[in-house]
Copies of this chain bind each other. A is one copy, B any other.
Amino acid sequence: MIVLGIDPGLANTGYGVVATDRRSASDGRLLALDGGVIATLSAQAPERRLAEIHAAVEALLEEHEPDAVALEQLYFGQNVQTAFAVGQARGVVLLAAGQRGIPCAGYTPQQVKGAVCGNGRASKDQVARMVQALLGLAQEPRPDHAADALAVAVCHVNCAPLAMALAGAREGMEALR
């Protein structure tokens, strides 16, 4: 399973590609295939910046052919203007996936921290250290946006089997009625 994690933003969209290692499926080891930041300049018109983000995400989908895209979801504490700007960036990321029929999932920061550290209130440093350990990286992932994107991808890899099992259980329950 390959997951593209995205931490969306108009100025900086973090990305991270995580794969389950097929050679060691039994111990569920994870690999980081890619990671970084799509940065756009504030001097450019928003429509040009969004086109750059969309093109960069398309290139990542083309290169890594992920099975799913996992996005960090809005934090309620943000203000309306920030939510609006982040929403625009998130929209073109979802679009790039939707145009290829790749399913998307959103996770709140609490869900990501819970899945990565076992604690929804873990600090940014704890998350970075756990992502480093889980992905076997030589050093902590940098910058922050890339680390957040890798973390949400790890979260999806860890949560997807449970989500699928739950969906299967629901279908089983339906079939019994």
Contacts and interface: CB of A to CB of B under 8 A. Distances in A.
Q: Could you tell me the dominant secondary structure of chain A's interface residues?
A: helix
Given A79-B80, A80-B74, A80-B78, A50 B87 contact: no
Contacts of A95: 47, 50-51, 54, 91-92, 95
A150 to B, nearest CB: 21
- Stoichiometry (number of copies): 2
Interface residues on A, range: 20 to 34
Contacts of A48: 98
List 6 tightest A-B contacts by C-beta distance, closest first. Answer: A87-B87, A47-B98, A91-B91, A88-B91, A51-B98, A47-B94
Contacts of A90: 84, 87-88, 91
